Amino acid sequence: MILSKYPNLVLKEIFDHMEYSDLFILSFASKNIRKMIRWSQKERFITIRSIEYFFDNNWEPPLVHVHSKRGSESIMDLRNPRRDRNDIFQLNVSGKIIDFQLCTNKKRAMASYQESENESVIVSIQNYLLDFFGSSMQYHWRFGYLQHYFIPRLKNVSFCIDICLEEDLKEMEKLETFFSSSPVFKWIGLKTMSTIKPFTPESKLYQAESIRISQFWDNFSLSAILRHFKGRQATVMCDRWENSEELIEFVNRWKSGEAFQKLEHLKFKFNRNEILDKGFLNEIGVKCIDATKQPPTHTLPKVYNWYYQQTEPTTDPIISHTYVVRATDNRVASILIQEDMSRSGEWIETIYFGVWDKTEEEFLKLID
Amino acid sequence: MSSTEQGTSSAAPAEPTTAPESAAAPEVPESFYYVHGKDKVVHKVSAGALQHSALIHGMISNLGYTEEQAKANPFPFENIDGDILQMVVDWCNQHKGKPTPPEDTNLPKQKEKLFDLVLAVNYLEIKELLTYCCKQVAMMVKGKSPEEIREIWMIPTDAEDEAAEKEAKKRAGKEAAGETAAAAGDAK
C-alpha cells in the first residue's frame, strides 16, 4: 500500500478518521506526511480550544490533552516511569532525540526521559506542538500538587494551578512561597477546608487572570479578594458572610476607576443561609432599569475552562435590572443578587458583578 | 466477453420487500446497466444499486437506454481490477435502497486489496463505501510506531523524498532542455 498514490482528498478522509494521538505519531513518519496532515486537518485543528499539559498527581505520568469542540483526548504521556527497553523508538522532536514507547492499552505515545532532562524535553515537545498544531489555540500548563513541581520556560504557554490546601498553615506558606517564585497564572483554583490567614496583598493569587476559590467554614478570601484582586474573572464559594462594608467599598472603588480596571466578572456564592442585607444597594448608588423591560444578558467566554465541557465555556449569565456606572469611562456593571433554595432546604445566595464593554448609553440601547 | 449476473442474483434476496416507493407507487420495471473492469467480465447491476456511485449515476441519468442498448454498451472501467469491481458491485447490491450502517466489517483485510478498493471507490465516487474504507485504512496504523507506519503505508523517509525530488528536478531540467533543442531544430 503506497499511501502517496492516494489523491489528497482520500488522504484527508483517512486522516479525518484518525485520533489526535495517532496523527501526532504519524506526523513523525516524514516531513511530507507532517505537511499533508497540517494541510488536510486545518479545519479540524481550528476546533481545538486548548492543548494542555496536565500534571494531576505524583504517581501518574503527566499527560498532554487536546480539548476541542469534538471532545477531549490525550495525545501523549510525559515521562513514562515504567519503561521497557524493548519497545523504545527514538524520535527527532524539534531537533532533540527523545525516547518514546507506545502505551499498549491506550495506544498513545509515552516520552521516556530522565528527570534531569525535564526542561529540555518539554521545550522540544512544545516547539513541536506549536509547529504541528499551530499557535491559534491556547496552550496551558496545569498542575495539581506542589511536590516536585516545575515550571518550564515555554513559548505560548499559560500556567494554571488547581490546589487543595490541607488544614495546615505550612501548606499555605509553601503555596505563598511557590507563588512568589512563579510567573503570573492564567488560572488558580484553590480549595481550603479551614481557617487560614489571608495571602499577602502582593500575592500572585490576586494577579491571576482568573481564580476559583472554594472555602468551607471561613471566608478569609472574600474580603481580601474584594480588596486586592487584579484579574478578570473571580468565583468565590464560602459559607459565611461577615458584612456588606467590604462589598460597598469594592463597588465604590470600581465606580471611581481607582481599582479593578481589568475586572469582567465576579461571582460570590454563600452556602449556608447567609442572606445579605439589600440595603447596601442604596449605599452603592445603583441605577435601575424599568421593571417592565427585559434587561440584557451579561455573559463572557471563560478565561479558563477548569473542567472540560464540550459547549463553549462561558461565565454564568447575569440578567439584572440593577447596575452601576464607572465615573472614568462611563462603563456599566450589572449587579445581581440571587437567592435559591438548596436540596437540603438551605438558602444559597449568590452575588454577581458583570462589567460590560459598553457605556451606559450603549448599554441602555440593548434593552428591548 | 463473458457475462456474470452474480451481482443481481446474490443481491435479490437482500432487497427490501416493503420498499416505501413500491408500496405507494405503481411498480415500474427496474432498469439494469452493465459494467466491466480490466478483466472484461461484465456485471449486470440495477440502476438502484448504481445510485451509490455518483459517477455512474451521473452517466446513466440522462441516457434512457433500453435493456438491449445497455447490454450492448457496458461501461468500461479499465483502471479497476475485475475482483475489485466485483467487490464494489456486491457492496452496491447489498446496500441498494438501504440506509448504510455506521460500520462495515466486510471489507478486505489484505492491505493491497483495500488499497485498490479505495482507489476504485474514490474514482466511482461511492461516498459511504469510501468512508468505510478510509476508516479501515486509518485503523491499520492505530497504536503503531512511526517506523511501523512507514512500513505499512510505504511512506518514504525524508532522505528518500529528497532524493526523489532531486531526481524529478533533474528530469524536468532535461525535458526542458530537450524541448528547447527541438524548438531550435524546428526554427532551422
Tell me the pLDDT tens digit for each residue of A162-206.
888 776 667 778 888 888 888 999 999 988 876 667 788 999 999
Predicted confidence at residue B1, as pLDDT, reads 38
Task: Kindly indicate the confidence band of residue A82, based on its pLDDT and cuts at 50, 70 and 90.
Answer: low
Cβ atoms of B75 and B36 within 8 Å: the answer is yes
Query: Do B19 and B34 share a structural domain?
Result: yes
Partners of B152 on chain A (C-beta within 8 Å) are 1
**Cross-chain residue pair B145–A25, CB shorter than 8 Å:** yes
A25 and B153 within 8 Å at the Cβ level: the answer is: no
In chain A, % helix, strand, coil (3-state, to 5) comes to 30, 30, 40
A112 to chain B, closest Cα gap in Å = 14
Query: Is 70 exceeded by the pLDDT of residue B16?
Result: no
Pairwise CB contact (< 8 Å): B146 & A3: no
In angstroms, the Cα distances linking A194 to A186, A216, A241, A367 are: 25, 6, 15, 44
Residues B118 and B60 in one domain: yes
Considering only the beta carbons, identify the residue of B111, B146, B153 that sits closest to A25.
B146
Q: Which residues of B touch A104 (CB under 8 A)?
A: 143
Average pLDDT for B141-164: 94
Q: Is A135 exposed, middle or buried (0-12, 13-18, 19+ CB in 10 A)?
A: exposed
Burial A279-310 (b: 16+ CB within 10 A, else e): ebbeebebeebeeeeebbebebebbbbbeeee
Verify that B181 and B138 share a domain, yes or no.
no
CATH number of the domain encompassing residue B139: 3.30.710.10
Looking at the fold, whether B111 and B181 belong to one and the same domain comes out as no
**This prediction's pTM:** 0.83
Chain B residue numbers with beta carbons less than 8 Å from the beta carbon of A102 are 143-145
- Statement to judge: residues B11 and B79 lie in one domain: yes
pLDDT tens digits along A293-334? 999 999 999 999 877 666 678 999 999 999 999 999 999 999
Q: Which domain holds residue B29?
A: 3-151
Whether residue B22 sits in one domain with residue B45: yes
pLDDT at A3: 86
Backbone angles phi, psi at B100, to 5 degrees: -80, 135
Rounded Cα distance, B138 and B151, in Å: 14
Predicted confidence at residue A122, as pLDDT, reads 92
Assess whether B124 and B183 both reside in one domain.
Answer: no
Task: Answer yes or no: are the C-beta atoms of A315 and A299 closer than 8 Å.
Answer: yes
Which amino acid, one-letter code, is at A299? T
Residue labelled with grid coordinates 493569587: A205
Number of domains in chain B: 2
Q: Are residues B31 and B94 in the same domain?
A: yes
Q: Is the pLDDT of residue A222 over 50?
A: yes
Is A15 an 8 Å CB contact of chain B?
Answer: yes
pLDDT at A149 over 50: yes
- Which region, left, alpha or beta, applies to residue B103 given φ > 0 means left and ψ of -120 to 50 means alpha? beta
- Verify whether the Cβ–Cβ distance A102 to B145 is below 8 Å: yes
For the cut 80, the answer to whether the pLDDT of residue A269 exceeds it is: yes
- Which of A30, A91, A107 lies nearest to residue B161, judging by beta carbons? A30
Chain B residues touching residue A112 (CB < 8 angstroms): none
Cβ of B155 and A30 within 8 Å?
yes
Helix (H, G, I), strand (E, B) or coil at B62: coil
Same domain, B82 and B124: yes
Contact A1 B115 (CB under 8 A): yes
Going by C-beta distance under 8 Å and a sequence separation of 6 or more, which residues neighbour residue B105?
A: none
CA pseudo-torsion sign A22, A24, A25, A27: positive
* 8 Å CB contact of B130 and A10: yes
Complex ipTM: 0.81
Chain B residue numbers with beta carbons less than 8 Å from the beta carbon of A25 are 144-146, 149
Instruction: Please report the sign of the dihedral spanned by the C-alpha atoms of residue A72, residue A75, residue A78, residue A84.
Output: positive
Say if residue B109 is in the same domain as residue B137: yes
Residues of A in contact with B131 (CB under 8 A): 13, 17
Examine the domain organization and report whether B102 and B164 are in the same domain.
no
Model pLDDT for residues B33-71, shown as the tens digit of each residue? 999 999 999 999 998 898 899 999 888 877 777 878 888
* Domain edges within chain A: 1-150
- Amino acid occupying residue A62: P
A22-61 residues touching B, CB cutoff 8 A: 22, 25-26, 28-33
Q: Are residues B128 and B177 in the same domain?
A: no
Q: How far apart, in Å, are the Cα atoms of A345 and each of A34, A238, B151?
A: 58, 17, 65
Q: What is the predicted pLDDT for the residue at A341?
A: 78
User: Which residue stretches of A41-186 are H helix?
Assistant: 42-46, 118-133, 169-180
A residues 107-166 closer than 8 Å to B (CB): 107
- Note the pLDDT tens digit of each residue in A349-367: 899 999 999 999 999 999 8
Q: Which residue of A has its CA nearest to B150?
A: A29
